[in-house]
Amino acid sequence: MSRKSKLLALALLAGSAQMALAQDRVTWWYEQATPDQQKLIQQNIVDPFNKANSDYNLVVDYRGNELDKQLRVALLSGNGPDVVYTPGPSYVAPMAQNGQLLALDDYAAKYGWMDKVLPVFLKMGEYDGKLYALPKTYETVGLFYNKTLFDKNGWKAPTTLDELETLADAMLKEGVTPFAAGNADWRGANEWFVTLALNAVAGPDAMNKALRGEMPWTAEPFVKAIDRLNSWWQKGYFGQNYFSLTSSEQAADMMASGRAGMMPSGTWQFQNVATYGEKDGSEAGFVGFPSAEGEPVFPLGVGSTFSIAAKANDPDGAAAAINYIFSPEVYGSMNSAWQGEWNIPLKDISSVKMGDNVTPLFTDTMKTLSGSVNDGNYGYTTWTFLPPATDNYLINGIEQVWLKKVTTADFLAKLDESFQKEMKAGKVPAVPAR
Q: How do residues 316-334 score in pLDDT, each as one tens digit? A: 999 999 999 999 999 999 9
d(CA 76, CA 413): 32
pLDDT at 19 (0 to 100): 45
List the domain boundaries for the chain: 3-138+302-374, 141-297+386-424
Q: What is the pLDDT of residue 87?
A: 83
| Residues above pLDDT 90, as percent of the chain | 72
CA pair distance 187, 174, nearest whole angstrom? 29
CA dihedral (309, 312, 316, 320) positive or negative:
negative
For residue 353, CA distances in Å to 44, 347, 349, 366, 389 come to: 13, 15, 9, 15, 40
Distance CA 268, CA 87 (A): 14
Q: Higher-confidence residue: 346 or 243?
A: 243
pLDDT of residue 18 exceeding 70, the answer is no
Give per-residue pLDDT as tens, 69-94: 899 899 988 899 999 999 888 888 88
- Helices H / strands E in the chain, number of each: 21, 14
Confidence grade of residue 16 (pLDDT, cut at 50, 70, 90): very low
Above 50 in pLDDT, residue 227?
yes
| Residue 17 banded pLDDT, cuts 50, 70, 90 | very low
Q: How confident is the model at residue 20 (pLDDT cuts 50, 70, 90)?
A: very low
Least confident of 7-16, 272-281, 323-332: 7-16
- What digits encode the pLDDT tens for the residues 351-383? 888 888 788 898 888 888 877 877 778 999 999
Does 15 have pLDDT greater than 80? no
Mean pLDDT, residues 177-181 taken together: 98
- What type of residue is 163? E
- To which H or E segment does residue 326 belong? none
Lowest mean pLDDT among 110-124, 187-201, 232-246, 364-378: 364-378
Other CB atoms within 10 A of residue 162 CB: 12
Listed in sequence order, the DSSP H helices in 295-354 are 315-325, 328-337
Count of residues in the chain: 434
**Dist CA 412 CA 230 (whole Å):** 13
Say if residues 267 and 274 touch (Cβ distance below 8 Å): no
Give the CATH superfamily of 141-297+386-424.
Periplasmic binding protein-like II (3.40.190.10)
Contact 272, 252 (CB under 8 A): yes
In this prediction the pTM is 0.83
Do residues 168 and 237 lie in contact, with contact meaning Cβ atoms separated by under 8 Å? yes
**How far apart are the C-alpha atoms of 194 and 262, rounded to whole Å?**
17
Spatial contact of 300 and 432, defined as CB atoms under 8 Å apart: no
What's the rounded mean pLDDT across residues 23-40?
93
More confident call, 348 vs 402: 402
In order, the DSSP letters of 183-246 are: -SS-GGGHHHHHHHHIIIII-HHHHHHHHTTSS-TTSHHHHHHHHHHHHHHHHTTT-S-TTTS-
Q: How far apart are the first and last CA of the chain?
A: 72
Contact 365, 286 (CB under 8 A): yes
Tell which wins on pLDDT, 34 or 229.
229
All residues at 6 or more sequence positions from 398 whose CB lies less than 8 Å from its CB, including other chains: 190, 191, 193, 194, 226, 229, 411
Q: Kindly state the helix (H) or strand (E) to which residue 28 belongs, with its residue range.
A: strand 24-30
CB atoms within 10 A of CB 105: 15
Mean pLDDT of 114-140: 91
Superfamily assignment of 3-138+302-374 in CATH? Periplasmic binding protein-like II (3.40.190.10)
Q: What is the mean pLDDT of residues 147-164?
A: 97
Distance CA 108, CA 129 (A): 14
C-alpha span between 230 and 370 (Å, rounded) = 31
Residue 10 has pLDDT above 50, yes or no: no
Give the CA distances from residue 235 to residues 12, 173, 184, 199, in Å, rounded to whole numbers and listed in that order. 70, 12, 21, 21
Q: Which range has highest mean pLDDT (19-23, 231-235, 266-270)?
A: 231-235
CA–CA dist 141, 156 (Å, integer) = 19
Using DSSP's 3-state secondary structure scheme, residue 133 falls into coil
